[in-house]
Amino acid sequence: MMDFMLIFDLVIAGLGLYLIYSSLKMRQTGELSTIVVNQDDMARCRDKGGFIEAIAMKSVYFGLVALIYGILALLNDFYSIFGKYFNVAGAVVFIVSWLWFAGELRKAREKFFY
């Protein structure tokens, strides 16, 4: 069970890093990232710049939540710094953040895609 949680925490931290990187790259290049839009849907975007502006910082915020949760959960797995309830509380914060981000992404897709 411990090995699974370590892998899970690493994946979440990696997701956070990748979301932050992809969002900043989208803002810099003006090109959509496949982490927020699949390749097939990219051609259906009415306004790339508007979509990027609408979602990039929200993606960074969610990426920060994922990265911080992943790192703290890893520390807790190794050293039990925060106690046994941290993983549950952290997972709740992560899931609520994910639901918020998914909702914001859905709204942006409805506005900028046909």
The string of pLDDT tens digits covering residues 36-92 is 999 999 999 999 999 999 999 999 999 999 999 999 999 998 898 898 899 889 999
Domain that holds residue 20: 2-112
Q: Which residues fall within 8 angstroms of residue 32, CB to CB, at 6 or more apart?
A: 26, 42, 45, 48, 51, 52
Residues 64, 84, 18, CA angle at the centre, nearest 5°?
20
pLDDT at 2: 63
Q: What pTM was estimated for this model as a whole? A: 0.91
Contact present, 57 and 105 (Cβ < 8 Å): no
Give alpha helix (H) positions in 1-114: 2-29, 48-79, 86-112
Q: How many domains does the chain have?
A: 1
Which amino acid, 113?
A: F
